[in-house]
Amino acid sequence: MSNLVLKGDIVFTPDKDSFKSYKDHYLVAEEGRVVGIFSSLPVEYQSYPIKDYSGKLIIPGFVDIHLHAPQYPNRGLGLDKELIPWLNTYTFPEEAKYHDLDYAERVYTSLINDLWRYGTTSCVIFSSIHKESTKLLMDLFIDSNLRAYVGKVNMDRNTPPELCEDTEKSLLDTEEIILEYKDKSPLVKPIITPRFVPTCSKELMEGLGKLAIKYNVAVQSHLSENRDEVDWVKNLHPDLEDYASVYNVYNLFGQTKTIMAHCIYNTPEELDLMEKNRVFAAHCPHSNYNLSSGIMPVRKFLDRNIPVGLGSDVSGGHDLSIPRTMVAAIQASKMKWLNTNKGLKPLTSSEAFYLGTKGGGSFFGKVGSFEEGYSLDALVVDDAKLGVKDDLSLEERVQRFIYIGDDRNIVERYVEGKRVDMPYRQNIPTMV
Amino acid sequence: MSNLVLKGDIVFTPDKDSFKSYKDHYLVAEEGRVVGIFSSLPVEYQSYPIKDYSGKLIIPGFVDIHLHAPQYPNRGLGLDKELIPWLNTYTFPEEAKYHDLDYAERVYTSLINDLWRYGTTSCVIFSSIHKESTKLLMDLFIDSNLRAYVGKVNMDRNTPPELCEDTEKSLLDTEEIILEYKDKSPLVKPIITPRFVPTCSKELMEGLGKLAIKYNVAVQSHLSENRDEVDWVKNLHPDLEDYASVYNVYNLFGQTKTIMAHCIYNTPEELDLMEKNRVFAAHCPHSNYNLSSGIMPVRKFLDRNIPVGLGSDVSGGHDLSIPRTMVAAIQASKMKWLNTNKGLKPLTSSEAFYLGTKGGGSFFGKVGSFEEGYSLDALVVDDAKLGVKDDLSLEERVQRFIYIGDDRNIVERYVEGKRVDMPYRQNIPTMV
């Protein structure tokens, strides 16, 4: 494992309320973990390799806790629809293609290259129902040296025939992946992934909850994205009081660490349960705009200390960029502030940055910050060409990069103290 | 003047309701104006120079009808505030610098390069109060071969001392610029620019209205961006029934062609007046999000056939990209749809594209479309690397470029049938 010193202008958010910044300091890591930040390099570390990025920003790698790998080719397409018709018209037909491993490899190498390009060093991702292409995606992530939770999707009701699984086979395939991958890599892990309540029978959810507990595996799904979806769940489970309770009775709601995407229309009781069970909310503002879903009241979650991270939600979200997702989250929170008669305070820049780094990163453990003991997952940002103004504070430079920079400004990526190069040279990058 | 043939996949919006697309066709221009689109090149045009862009998209150049040149260095900074405090804390201090022509040249060459880079071939822009740097900006636009209306800002009340003009001098400087530039260039024109009612005395507005009519010069300003601003105007002009009426009584509201930016909180009577006077509304969704202003009910304007275009509103808006402004406009209209109990229909992709091309372009005359007689202002877009999907319609390819492409996909820019190269080689581009 690697010892390393990065020198430059270091900025991160140990808590959501403010940036911590260190101009022209040394960030020291041992065996991939941060040991400290120093204005001059202590003698005991002077033997470590030093990377000099003086004048450049060094920030935590970005964390995307909700996106769908097989939807990558659909980015920017079909966004004139709401959730359910969008699923049926655009998403499900695309996801049905992933029995084809060659097609899956083309898409997934392109996606992983672009995650690297945008500085997303950690992600929590949905695959499709297909076991083999899910394994392929996990192996591609392992080769990339990026950090990921990857979930084979489970669905056995209310889906088109080509995506409707046999319940027992769905559970067996899921268990096979768990057994094969739970200890295969320190960076890439399986995650149990019921698509959402409407497409999962009680038997399937019950079986998945048992697997989660038996192997202590994480869980991800969707919750209260759209009013029609919430009504649908109510009709499917009239005996249970709310959407969250359905997951909860099947041990899919925080019994092991859990992410729920969207969380726009939760009841106070559902928020109580998320708070009690430490369920993560994945805030996906671009997707919530594009599918006319609504605006998540993220301030309510922060006020209750419910853990929150950001999700690009490709391809409901069109944009893989976590910085642009931070901007969308700030903008959405400002509209929510107006719509609540200035009741729910807008997100600040440091809060949005926190959500896209340590907020989502904490799902992985000590990820998304440069505090002692945190994994050295870092981006080096050259912001010299972002403007003619040179009298900015480090916080202002980070804010400017978040608002107007892009992948071209990211010159290096590190995960656990190791530099990560573009994973798939043979793949034609999507964006260059 | 130039005759020219462009060959490729041609897409534009003659009206807002649908894209017109021609796969592998010839777009023919004589003396910079479109004469037709043909599947095979008629013999009478075969002597014209042919540019073969087969497989690439050919679309109208983008049009930005509201931005502030001297605010360019502030993009992405200070966006935790609302309009009035943001003006006082960030914007006015920056604008005060433009007595310095060297600073102005640094900023304005960078801005014009970036407009070129993003494919904005026409814009309507605010300068500062400074006469000399306004002339510099106009001369830089003339050299760039891009199309622009440029306005020296007028303000003589409720402003910091360093930006508060003497009323008579403000009018004399404005008239000097009009006389010097009204016939200087076919592409770059002066526009009368009272900043907004709160910063313009009655005498100033009266004098500017007289200049507008005397020289038949266009007008631009701001209208109903923020509730506090609307209340402020009401207090300043209790005798007049609304904000629009203040401009109107001083002949600054459609007596010559006029753009009003934002238009979020207009009364039905104000919309009646805009409709009657053919006043353009500049829709600036990013700015309206960033400054917590609100969401313009753009559907109301379209239903009344009030002319509407898009504005980046740099630096209230952080993003110079008109395609990303189109996406923000669609997203904002979807939130407005939800907030009006599904009363105001969301913008479609073709409507957003229309607003960012022909909608704003019509302020310049026959600009923003490829119909016969329109100026050949075109972008050539190489979208081959935007995804692994190759079975898309031309409309889907344009939609995908708008959502996930960027300046790297734009390989050529044309204005009035002439190719435009990067204006200022000596300037370090902001984004590369």
In sequence order, what are the residues at sequence separation of 6 or more whose Cβ sits closer than 8 angstroms to the Cβ of residue B423? B109, B112, B113, B116, B140, B143, B144, B145, B146
**Among the ranges given (A80-94, A195-209, B204-218), the one the predictor scored with the smallest mean pLDDT:** A80-94
Distance from CA of B352 to the nearest CA of A (A): 12
CA A31 to chain centre: 25
Nearest CA in chain B to A400: B76
Fold held by B62-361: TIM Barrel (3.20.20)
Kindly indicate the confidence band of residue A175, based on its pLDDT and cuts at 50, 70 and 90. very high
Confidence band of A432 (pLDDT split at 50, 70, 90): very low
Per CB-CB distance under 8 Å, the chain A contacts of B289 are 331-332, 334-335
The pairs formed by B340-348 with CB atoms below 8 angstroms and a separation of 24 or more are B340/B297, B344/B297, B344/B299, B344/B300, B345/B299, B346/A80, B346/A292, B346/B299, B347/B298, B347/B299, B348/A80, B348/B17
Q: Is residue B389's pLDDT more than 90?
A: no
Q: For residue A89, what pLDDT is reported?
A: 87
Nearest chain B CA: its distance from A167 CA (Å):
32
User: pLDDT, tens digit, for every residue of B25-73?
Assistant: 999 999 999 999 999 999 999 999 999 999 999 999 999 999 999 999 9
* Segment B235-253 mean pLDDT: 98
Numbers of helices and strands, H then E, in chain A: 15, 17
pLDDT over 80 at A428, yes or no: no
pLDDT for the residue numbered A389? 73
* Listed range (B84-88, B294-298, B328-332) with the worst mean pLDDT: B84-88
Region B109-122: what's the mean pLDDT?
97
Read off the pLDDT of each residue in A398-417 and give the average, rounded to a whole number. Answer: 97
Over 70: is that where the pLDDT of B250 sits? yes
B62, B319 contact by CB (below 8 A): no
Distance of alpha carbon B321 from alpha carbon B330, whole angstroms? 14
Closest CA to B226 of B289, B155, B161: B289
ipTM, two decimals, is 0.97
Mutate to test the interface with B, among A403, A408, A428, A432 (most CBs of B within 10 A): A403
CB-closest option in A318, A334, A387 to B403: A318
Measured between CB atoms, which of A73, A292, A430 is closest to B346?
A292
Local confidence band at B4 (pLDDT 50, 70, 90 cut-offs): very high
Quote the mean pLDDT of chain B: 96
Residue with tokens 């770059």: B188
Q: What is the rounded distance in angstroms from the CA atom of residue B87 to the CA atom of residue B159? A: 10
pLDDT of residue B426: 56
Strands (E), B274-366: 280-283, 308-310
Among A73, A76, A64, CA closest to A98: A73
Mean pLDDT of A12-36: 98
pLDDT of B431 > 70? The answer is no
**Residue B1 pLDDT grade (very low, low, confident, very high; cuts 50, 70, 90):** low
Strands (E), A219-356: 219-223, 258-262, 280-283, 308-310
Band of pLDDT at residue A127, cut at 50, 70 and 90: very high
CB contact under 8 A, B400 and A76: yes
Shortest alpha-carbon distance between residue A431 and chain B (Å)? 6
What pTM value is reported for the model?
0.97
CB of A402 within 8 A of CB of A327?
Answer: yes
| Domain coordinates in residue numbering, chain B | 4-60+369-419, 62-361
CA–CA dist B56, A338 (Å, integer) = 43
Sheet holding B188-190, edge to edge: B62-68, B120-126, B147-151, B188-190
Please, which residues have CB within 8 angstroms of residue B165's CB and are 6 or more apart in sequence? B129, B154, B155, B156, B173, B204
A261-312: pLDDT as tens digits: 999 999 999 999 999 999 999 999 999 999 999 999 999 999 999 999 999 9
Is B385's CB within 8 Å of A295's CB? no
Q: What are phi and psi of A334, to 5 degrees?
A: -70, -35
Residue B428 has pLDDT above 80, yes or no: no
Whether pLDDT at A429 is above 60: no
With cut-offs at 50, 70 and 90, classify the pLDDT of residue A426.
Answer: low
pLDDT in tens, A328-372: 999 999 999 999 999 999 999 999 999 999 999 999 999 999 999
Residue A427 has pLDDT above 60, yes or no: no
Measured distance CA(A379)–CA(A60) in Å, rounded: 6
Domain A4-60+369-419: what homologous superfamily?
Answer: Urease, subunit C, domain 1 (2.30.40.10)
Largest CA distance in chain B: 67
Tokens for A293, please give them. 């879903």
Is the predicted pLDDT of residue B429 greater than 80, yes or no? no
Give the Cα-Cα-Cα angle A67, A72, A75 (nearest 5 degrees).
100
Per-residue pLDDT, A191: 98
Q: How far apart are the first and last CA of chain A?
A: 33
In chain A, residues with a C-beta closer than 8 Å to the C-beta of B337 are 292
Yes or no, beta carbons of A75 and B385 under 8 Å apart: no
Say how far apart CA B431 and CA B115 lie, in whole Å. 11
Question: Which residues, including other chains, have CB under 8 Å from residue A239's CB and lie 6 or more apart?
Answer: none
Q: Indicate yes or no: CB of A385 within 8 angstroms of CB of B319.
A: no
pLDDT > 70? residue A431: no
Q: How far apart are CA A107 and CA B128, in angstroms?
A: 49
